[in-house]
């Protein structure tokens, strides 16, 4: 039988571990995953648990994959750190406050807020939890009951966060979402932000605070060589320019420019980059680099997690473009779209 104190001792180990203590972090994340899978009686090998749910804003991961996110150890560690730091920062200024946290896309375990229950009372934090996938939602409901966490829950809803309307009297201090992949492709992270952020107060903390997609040219053999030989990757990548930035400002400015937008199908402003032929000779492959600023100093940089691995877009030797226009698109298959202008 899973006890809350046992679970909390595992999440404490994740929060307390140094960022570079990979062994400790790996062991704690693995134990957290195995403990939660067992307590929730999820069979990750079952085919129906692997099925993603298709939304008009992208794919909501099947429970197997959503649960497995815990094993992305740097992601789990840095997001837990960031969420914890944000709560502490608010309490520092308002020690008597009850902090309301909206977490969209919780998966079966609401992993990113679990450590908070070890460190804060229900008088200090209240959670609104949204999950669209029925199996994950049912599992989470069950987990809340097994762990007797009801006193922390303000709302627990099976809902599509790209369409959810915040009840007018609910005040949200922190909004958390991690429904993303490298290059912000496939999953509805951006669409969720586009729906939720305009409903929040200007001082609400959004986690992650900013995600930047940067176009880059890459020399693949050199990158392999650098990875195996020295661990340094700098000279195998030629950074071009940021092509999409997701933060509260870009979300609100896009929302204001198009109040009648169809949240399930639209594009952000495009960015055109001139491509120099001599650079393509040395760095022939077009990639997107994803930087995730979670909260203050907690971030995920290149290669620290599958979320921040370079995403290949094209082999430019076949095309030789003079310029490329990039545009982020929200829809059933969200992501960066690009058009090349040829010589």
Ligand X SMILES: C[S@@+](CC[C@H](N)C(=O)[O-])C[C@H]1O[C@@H](n2cnc3c(N)ncnc32)[C@H](O)[C@@H]1O
Specify the stretch interacting with ligand X by CB under 6 A; choose among 125-133, 143-151, 235-243, 275-283.
Answer: 125-133
Q: Does 107 bind ligand X (CB under 6 A)?
A: yes
User: CB atoms < 10 A from the CB of 245, how many?
Assistant: 17
Q: Does 178 bind ligand X (CB under 6 A)?
A: yes
Closest residue to ligand X in the complex (CB): 105
Q: Does 11 bind ligand X (CB under 6 A)?
A: no
Please identify, using beta-carbon distances, which residue of 333 and 341 lies nearer to ligand X: 333
Please identify, using beta-carbon distances, which residue of 333 and 339 lies nearer to ligand X: 333
Specify the stretch interacting with ligand X by CB under 6 A; choose among 103-111, 115-123, 139-147, 328-336.
Answer: 103-111
Name the minimum Å distance from CB 237 to ligand X. 26
Name the minimum Å distance from CB 279 to ligand X. 34
Specify the stretch interacting with ligand X by CB under 6 A; choose among 148-156, 186-194, 291-299, 310-318.
Answer: 186-194
Residues in the interface with ligand X (CB under 6 A) total: 25
Q: Residue 191 and residue 179: Cα distance in Å, rounded?
A: 10
**Residue 111 carries which DSSP code?**
G
Q: Does 111 bind ligand X (CB under 6 A)?
A: yes
Site for ligand X in 187-246 (CB under 6 A): 187-188, 192
Nearest to 127 by CA among 109, 90, 101: 101
Q: Does 101 bind ligand X (CB under 6 A)?
A: no
Q: Residue 317 and residue 285: Cα distance in Å, rounded?
A: 8
Q: Does 130 bind ligand X (CB under 6 A)?
A: yes
Q: Does 60 bind ligand X (CB under 6 A)?
A: yes
Q: Residue 316 and residue 57: Cα distance in Å, rounded?
A: 29
One DSSP character per residue, 207-254 reads ESSEEEEEEEEE-HHHHHHHHHHTS--GGGEEEEEEEEEESHHHHHHH
Beta bridge partners of 126: 100
One DSSP character per residue, 148-204 reads T-GGGEEEEEE--TTT----TT---SEEEE----GGG-SSSHHHHHHHHGGGS-TTP
Q: Which of 40, 126, 136, 264 binds ligand X (CB under 6 A)?
A: 136
Q: Does 129 bind ligand X (CB under 6 A)?
A: no
Burial of 48 (0-12, 13-18, 19+ CB in 10 A): exposed
């Amino acid at each position: 039988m899973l006890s809350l104190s046992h679970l909390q001792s595992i999440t404490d180990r994740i929060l307390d571990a140094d960022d570079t203590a990979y062994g400790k972090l790996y062991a704690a994340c693995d134990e957290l995953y195995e403990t939660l899978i067992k307590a929730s009686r999820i069979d990750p090998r079952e085919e129906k648990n692997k099925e993603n749910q298709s939304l008009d804003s992208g794919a909501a991961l099947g429970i197997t994959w959503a649960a497995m996110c815990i094993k992305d150890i740097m992601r789990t560690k840095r997001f837990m750190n960031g969420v914890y730091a944000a709560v502490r920062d608010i309490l520092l200024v308002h020690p008597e406050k009850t902090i309301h946290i909206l977490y969209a896309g919780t998966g079966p375990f609401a992993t990113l807020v679990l450590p908070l229950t070890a460190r804060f009372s229900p008088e200090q934090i209240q959670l609104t939890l949204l999950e669209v996938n029925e199996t994950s939602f049912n599992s989470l409901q069950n987990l809340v009951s097994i762990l007797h966490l009801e006193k922390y829950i303000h709302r627990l809803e099976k809902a599509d966060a790209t369409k959810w309307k915040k009840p007018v009297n609910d005040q949200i201090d922190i909004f958390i979402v991690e429904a993303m992949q490298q290059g912000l492709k496939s999953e509805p992270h951006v669409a969720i932000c586009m729906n939720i952020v305009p409903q929040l107060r200007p001082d609400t903390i959004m986690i992650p605070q900013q995600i930047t997609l940067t176009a880059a040219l890459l020399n693949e053999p050199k990158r392999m060589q650098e990875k195996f030989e020295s661990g340094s990757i700098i000279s195998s990548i030629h950074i071009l320019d940021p092509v999409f930035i997701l933060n509260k400002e870009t979300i609100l400015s896009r929302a204001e420019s198009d109040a009648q937008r169809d949240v399930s199908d639209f594009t952000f402003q495009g960015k055109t980059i001139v491509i120099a032929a001599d650079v393509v000779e040395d760095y022939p492959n077009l990639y997107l680099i994803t930087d995730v600023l979670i909260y203050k100093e907690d971030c995920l940089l290149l290669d620290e997690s599958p979320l921040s691995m370079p995403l290949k877009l094209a082999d430019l030797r076949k095309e030789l473009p003079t310029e490329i226009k990039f545009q982020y698109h929200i829809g059933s298959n969200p992501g960066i779209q690009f058009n090349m202008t040829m010589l």
